Amino acid sequence: MSYDLYFIKREPGQSWDDALKAREEALEAHEEGHEDDPPLDVEAWDRIVSRARGVLGEIDLFENPPVWEITHEATGIQLGYCEGQWNITAPYWTHGEDAAHVVRTMRALAPIVEQETGLECYDPQHERPLADIEPGDTACAVAMFEHVAKMLGSA
């Protein structure tokens, strides 16, 4: 289980619900073998990696098409491109201020992906675009980390 941020292409005037449905349909089509992954823009990937280092510091890279992934070992944050989709994820293994730090770091990475890909970030845990969430407000996200930790018996 992880805290996730999705990146979605929304057409002008398209609702978030419709954009999320299109994302799911694209994933299903890929899983069923009906659709190939769109090619990764390698130049954008290189810029994302460089800028992510500025936020995270030391990172591990996995570049084995069709999977491209940045991993930050200290926080567990992963930023990646797979099956034609961009995501940022972090495991629910932190609590309190450490969880708030992870969320702030994820939110610092999100604009990098948005700027380099033209996609919009969506927080499915809160069912809202990241742009509609106050950057410093981590209380709801930390509560999610705490809730999952209790469910898993690790709190």
Using CB atoms within 10 Å of the CB of residue 85, give its burial: 0 to 12 exposed, 13 to 18 middle, 19+ buried.
middle
Q: So what's the pLDDT on residue 154? A: 61
* CA–CA gap between residue 28 and residue 47 (Å, rounded): 29
Closest listed residue to residue 9, CA positions, set 83, 21, 34: 21
Are 137 and 130 within 8 A, CB to CB? Answer: no
Under 8 Å CB-to-CB from 114, ≥6 apart: which residues?
A: 7, 120, 121
Closest listed residue to residue 154, CA positions, set 101, 78, 91: 91
Strands lying side by side in the sheet with 67-72:
60-64, 67-72, 77-82, 85-91, 2-8, 120-123, 128-129
Longest Cα–Cα distance in the chain: 44
The three-state secondary structure class of 19 is helix
Residue type, 69: E
Q: So what's the pLDDT on residue 76? A: 96
Q: So what's the pLDDT on residue 83? A: 80
Q: So what's the pLDDT on residue 36? A: 67
Q: So what's the pLDDT on residue 6? A: 94
Q: So what's the pLDDT on residue 65? A: 86
* CA–CA gap between residue 138 and residue 104 (Å, rounded): 7
Ranges in the chain, pLDDT < 70: 33-37, 154-155
- Kindly report the average pLDDT of the chain as a whole number: 91
Looking at the whole model, is its pTM more than 0.85? yes
Q: So what's the pLDDT on residue 104? A: 96
